Structure 1
Amino acid sequence: MKQEYIAPKNWEIFRPYFKKIDVSAKTILLQEGEISRTMYFIEKGCLRTWINNDGKEITTQFFFEGESVSSIESFRTNKTSLYSIESIEQCTLQTLSQKDFQQIIESNPEMKNDFEAHLFKRLFQTQQFAFSYLKNNPQQRYEELITQFPHIVQRVPQHYIASYLGITSVSLSRIRNRQ
């Protein structure tokens, strides 16, 4: 869900290191099982993370303008990514290499502290979603999602939202029709 990895005001420190790319919808930026070597800052567009479960894609998070994404565990440890990163729509992204990120973090204690704070926030958000998944029924999860992120239904295809909620597109249609 919504992640505040590095606040846009802090992006300036990265400016000399950014490489701008434009990608079309449905572009795989990182494949599950590869090592993440790039962090993506979203200028325009929407990305999702997803896992492959026996050939079935399960969406795990969505990211929009002003947010950043990488397989942070892989990016920081050089271990393979547990998930893929894909564009949902046409995107303009600023990319930052693993090497440049490491250099900035190591030379700037404030950025290092911001990054650590981000990791704790991400852990907390992941826990919230996991507990919601265990505790709430699909209708409650959908209501929680649109309350927190009302723009999601205009930007994200229904089958990705259904996958994220752990239900079928048909079940999501039924839930939406009850609203």
Structure 2
Amino acid sequence: MIMTTDFPYDWFGTAEKFFSSTELAVLKQIHATAKHLSVPAKTVLLEESKVADRLYLIRKGCLRLFFFNDGKDITFQFFFEGDFVASFDSLYNRQPSLFSLETIEPAELSVIKRDDFYNLIQRMPPLRQAYEEKLIERFRTYQKLFLSHIKNTPQQRYEELLKEHPDIVRRIPQHYIASYLGITPVSLSRIRNRH
């Protein structure tokens, strides 16, 4: 069950490792506008083909983006503490989302509605800049993932994941990691046994 909570304002003290001082100042202003939720694991926050109307900031926990292809659940990105998550294309264009968003672990989230968020970025250039930087970062991540699936073997993709994102290997169930790498869980077990 999703519960509305009041997070202690001192969360921002621990958030310093995720954000610059400018971003923190902006987040403190967003704090009053956002709703704060405690969400159980395996909660779908956005369904594929629905129009996104919220932006999430992960305070605790992890989420994944996934879609269905021929009845198979395909995971293509993970998010952790400090990440902003939404179907940005759907949020911006008010078009159906191409994927679903789900919690993997129990999560503490700050949630801001689309219109409130876009009103804030119109008034606050530092927030607009932070938002644009997050979009560019997301685009880079998708480019790297796309190229990795073309150029690298599953073994190389796994080694790259270990090197660049050890949190994923430690915190995410193996079947989601296998899906993310584009292999079966059995193949992933073989690759892991070689390490």
After TM superposition, the score normalised by the length of structure 2 is: 0.86
**2:177 is matched with which residue?**
161
Note if contact 1:52-1:58 (Cα within 8 Å) is conserved in structure 2.
yes
Provide Cα deviations, 1:33-80, integer angstroms capped at 9, x if missing partner.
000001111111110000110211000100011111000100111001
Aligned-pair identity (%): 46
Note if contact 1:46-1:89 (Cα within 8 Å) is conserved in structure 2.
yes
Deviation of 1:6 after TM superposition, in Å, equals 7.1
Which stretch has the larger CA shift, 30-39 or 150-159? 150-159
Unaligned runs of 5+ residues in structure 2 are 1-17
1:111 to 121, 127, 132: 127
Runs of 4+ in 1 over 6 A off after TM superposition: none
Look at both structures and tell me which one has the larger radius of gyration over its CA atoms: 2
**2:155 is matched with which residue?**
139
Determine whether 1:176 maps to 2:189: no
Provide Cα deviations, 1:127-179, integer angstroms capped at 9, x if missing partner.
11100110000010011011111122221000000000000000000000000
Determine whether 1:46 maps to 2:62: yes
Aligned length: 175
1:26 to 42, 47, 54: 42
Which secondary structure does the structure 1 equivalent of 2:117 belong to? helix
Higher relative contact order (CA closer than 8 Å, sequence separation 6+): 1
Q: 2 CA distance for matches of 1:121 and 1:159? A: 26
Q: 1 CA distance for matches of 2:104 and 2:138? A: 21
**RMSD over equivalenced CA pairs, Å:** 1.5
Which secondary structure does the structure 2 equivalent of 1:50 belong to? strand
Unaligned runs of 5+ residues in structure 1 are none
